[in-house]
Chain A
């Protein structure tokens, strides 16, 4: 008679694993800050508990290069770039018709992104926008996922000034990196808007005083009614153009704070959960952070794509 198996294990083995996990959870609960404050100190050794987190918002300079401070978040961003370049090199060096696992994974990811670009922006523009959109996607994604590795926030080094700082820190949690990416996205959108729609038409979206001055002209020529209507609708045009320009700049802010806020909150959440209940309780939150990293990368690149599509679409076409 075949033995009954649950989750691929025989029943006694599963019971032993479950008991070990439960024991580990109990010990971790009792040694963490939550257990200590609820139940009190039960005499567990001090090295089991985790010190209270001390998150710092500004990144710390690790060393100076030609007078510029090189912060730990920059080093992490370099690490991300190195990983991305390395993986791309290894995968594309010998492309096979029947791909191996890594090539198949990357092919499906890139194929999916490419389809998304073409679906949102159309065949021609999708092809045009794809490189920048995909680069932003992979950069943000790898920044988020690499910062979940244990080397982040645990390797301490001493700087020339004698300070102890972390060698790595999640690059997305330094507000300068989301801001830089938001600026890249902004310039990308404006560049394609101006190039594909034409500078005159594109700027006319923001400075739209034609009807206003037309109305003024009619007023001078004596047609009071048509002139007043022209001036009024022209005034509204100017106001709407102003709003359009302002909302273009607000996007930089919302891009920056969306990524920075989500990533920093995630890191602080992980630190706090580890402090309250060490070891096991943080594992589901790690899963959550994997998801958050993916979602943020998708949002950042996808919104860049949507805004670029909006910029190259004529206003009238969009409303029609």
Chain B
């Protein structure tokens, strides 16, 4: 992988984490106010946001991790 691709993948991570957690929380808050279930869906949305954030970051950085492993073993 080129340096540029690695850099771009890393740059994308920050706002992705923020975006997914905020979206989860906002969706939870909105659904809570609609369904009167405060705060169950807020917490659920937060959890889903965090999980999506971790998974997305893992997917974005997977090639970088593989590169490193190759170098260590080789």
Q: Which residues of A contact B (CB under 8 A)?
A: 116, 119-120, 240, 243-244, 246-247, 250-251, 253-255, 257-258, 299, 302-303, 305-306, 309-310, 318-319
Counted as pairs of residues, one from A and one from B, with CB atoms less than 8 Å apart, the total is 67
Q: B52 to nearest A CB, angstroms?
A: 5
- In Å, the complex CA distance between A257 and B15 comes to 8
* A258 close to B63 (CB less than 8 A): no
CB < 8 Å neighbour of A306 from B12, B51, B66:
B12
Determine the chain A residues whose CB is within 8 A of the CB of B16 once the complex forms: 247, 250-251, 254
Determine the chain B residues whose CB is within 8 A of the CB of A310 once the complex forms: 59
* A250 close to B56 (CB less than 8 A): yes
Determine the chain B residues whose CB is within 8 A of the CB of A251 once the complex forms: 16, 19
* B52 close to A302 (CB less than 8 A): no
Determine the chain A residues whose CB is within 8 A of the CB of B15 once the complex forms: 254-255, 257-258
Q: B7 to nearest A CB, angstroms?
A: 8
Q: Which residue of A lies closest to B26 (CB)?
A: A253
Main secondary structure of the interface of B (DSSP, over half): helix
* A243 close to B52 (CB less than 8 A): yes
Q: B42 to nearest A CB, angstroms?
A: 17
* A119 close to B11 (CB less than 8 A): no
Question: How many positions in chain B have a CB within 8 Å of any CB in the partner chain?
Answer: 23
Determine the chain A residues whose CB is within 8 A of the CB of B11 once the complex forms: 299, 302-303
* A306 close to B9 (CB less than 8 A): yes
- In Å, the complex CA distance between A243 and B52 comes to 6
Chain A CB within 10 Å, residue with most, of B8, B23, B56 = B8
* B2 close to A243 (CB less than 8 A): no
Determine the chain A residues whose CB is within 8 A of the CB of B43 once the complex forms: none
Main secondary structure of the interface of A (DSSP, over half): helix
Determine the chain A residues whose CB is within 8 A of the CB of B8 once the complex forms: 120, 299, 302-303, 305-306
Determine the chain A residues whose CB is within 8 A of the CB of B51 once the complex forms: 243
A257-B15, A258-B15 given; 8 more Cβ-contact pairs under 8 Å: A119-B5, A244-B59, A246-B48, A250-B56, A253-B19, A253-B22, A303-B11, A318-B62
Determine the chain A residues whose CB is within 8 A of the CB of B23 once the complex forms: 250, 253
Whether A119 contacts B4 in the complex (CB less than 8 A), given A247-B56, A254-B12, comes out as yes
- In Å, the complex CA distance between A255 and B8 comes to 13
Q: Which residue of A lies closest to B66 (CB)?
A: A319
* A240 close to B55 (CB less than 8 A): yes
- In Å, the complex CA distance between A309 and B55 comes to 18
- In Å, the complex CA distance between A257 and B22 comes to 11
